[in-house]
């Protein structure tokens, strides 16, 4: 048993990661950041990409419908600055929301706190999605 | 859009569970099972914690 485990581990260590050009990886990461799920889509995992896109964008839209707050980078609070990074992690959806005039200023709206949680969580999930597509590109995951 | 705490919890748990399932599992069956377990954990733990906090409410 122990012998086979050692043998299996040795075989795993022998497997080399495929060489992926850095430029390709950067383009993949930027695409995965801008449009949730596009990192998976570009690697042929279209079903997963659709589910990830739908889930993350749905969370973002729900956050906006609940009047979630948009954080600003020049805020004195470090938590607000982290929130800014979290919200912008969702990619081009933030820019689209700004383009259509959503400013997220009404912090006294009843469900604003929930909306803010949805907006930040959507960005965080998109970061996980980016890392997952990176792992797939590096051959660490099927 | 104003929704209740519980509906917000359900929606949040659903979408996060789906993403977790898709990212961590390979087969469709494993994805569904893991997502369902994560969803149940989200909702169940929130309800338990809610009742625990209610017990210690002033």
Structural tokens at position A43: 């690697």
Every domain of chain B and the residues it spans: 5-55
Average pLDDT, chain A: 87
Digit-coded pLDDT (tens) for A128-137: 999 999 999 9
In B, which residues are within 8 Å of A109 by CB distance? 2
Structure confidence at residue A45 as a pLDDT band (50, 70, 90): very high
- Bigger pLDDT: A102 vs B58: A102
CB contact under 8 A, A59 and B15: yes
Q: Average pLDDT in the A105-117 region?
A: 83
| pLDDT tops 90 at residue A2 | no
Query: Does B22 contact A at CB distance below 8 Å?
Result: yes
User: Do the Cβ atoms of A35 and A95 come closer than 8 Å?
Assistant: no
Give the C-alpha separation, A120 to B13, whole Å.
14
What is the per-residue pLDDT for A92?
Answer: 93
ipTM attached to this prediction: 0.89
CB–CB of B18 and A55 under 8 A? yes
A56-60, A100-104, A114-118 — which is least confidently predicted? A100-104
């Amino acid at each position: 048993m122990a012998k086979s485990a050692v043998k299996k581990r040795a075989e795993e260590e022998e497997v080399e990661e495929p060489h992926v050009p850095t430029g390709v990886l950067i383009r993949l990461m930027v695409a995965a950041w801008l449009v949730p799920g596009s990192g998976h889509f570009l690697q042929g995992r279209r079903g997963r990409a659709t589910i990830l896109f739908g889930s993350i964008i749905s969370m973002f839209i729900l956050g906006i419908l609940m009047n979630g707050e948009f954080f600003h980078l020049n805020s004195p609070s470090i938590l607000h600055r982290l929130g800014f990074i979290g919200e912008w992690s969702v990619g081009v959806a933030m820019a689209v929301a700004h383009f259509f005039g959503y400013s997220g200023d009404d912090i006294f709206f009843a469900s604003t706190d929930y909306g803010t949680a949805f907006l930040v969580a959507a960005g965080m999930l998109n970061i996980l999605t980016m890392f997952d597509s990176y792992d797939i590109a590096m051959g660490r995951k099927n | 859009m104003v929704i209740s705490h519980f509906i917000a919890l359900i929606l949040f748990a659903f979408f996060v569970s789906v993403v977790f399932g898709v990212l961590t599992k390979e087969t469709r069956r494993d994805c569904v099972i893991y997502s369902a377990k994560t969803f149940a954990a989200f909702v169940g733990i929130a309800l338990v914690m809610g009742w625990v906090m209610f017990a210690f409410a002033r």
